Homo-oligomer: A and B are copies of this chain.
Amino acid sequence: MKKTDAESILDHALSLFRSRGYKSTSMADIGKASGLLKGSIYHHFPSKEAILSQALDRLSGHFEKQIFSLAQDESMTEKQRLDAMVSAMEGYFIKNKACVMAHVSMEAMDDMAQVRDQIQAFFRRWRSAFAGVLATRHGGSVARRLAEDSISQLEGAVLWLNIFDDPAPLKRMCKRARELL
């Protein structure tokens, strides 16, 4: 019976949120991308904010499985884990040219407290995974600091990529990150 599953709507919505942001994406936009009228979306989700929240959850899951998990893959050396994780990040952002979490965070810091918490949790988890690969070499506190710096550097580079369509700073940043081990 099902024709359009909720996950498909979430994927289309996430893509729109990434390129246009949350406020600039209307229910009609999400509907059109999903092949529905805007009213029909409310059969799958209770509100627009719920779509955002679930879409961010889904994105966190993707990062967990495809990127963060590489940092804990014990079939590789630590250097290999770092390389794999950084390369996965680099490929993701060069392909998508923007970070939904960063984009939405600016719109959601005041209202939408739950979304703000989700975004903070995402970046904390990212830092934790990143610091994990660096810990034995640099020690816990230094590793955490290096991870924090690397993530914020990467976000800045993604912003530059979004503004100038120039991936050079991102590539240089990833090269530097790989040299941390």
Contacts and interface: CB of A to CB of B under 8 A. Distances in A.
Given A23-B21, A106-B98, A149 B169 contact: yes
Tell me the number of copies of this protein. 2
B155 A160 contact: yes
A157 B103 CA distance: 14
Interface string A82-119: 00000000000000001000110111011000000001
Given A145-B172, A172-B145, A105 B163 contact: yes
Contacts of A163: 105, 109, 119-120, 123
Contact of A110 (B19, B102, B106, B152): B19
Contacts of A156: 151-157, 159
Nearest to A103: B106
Contacts of A57: none
A16 to B, nearest CB: 11
Q: Identify the interface centre among A19, A24, A105, A156: most chain B CB within 10 Å of its CB.
A: A156
Residue among A103, A119, A164 facing the most chain B CB atoms (10 A cut-off): A164
Nearest to A161: B152
A152 B169 contact: yes
A11 interface: no
A36 interface: no
Contacts of A37: none
A162 interface: yes
A152 B149 contact: no
Instruction: Determine which residue in A24, A98, A159 has the highest number of CB atoms from chain B within 10 A of its CB, and name it.
Output: A159
B105 A162 contact: yes
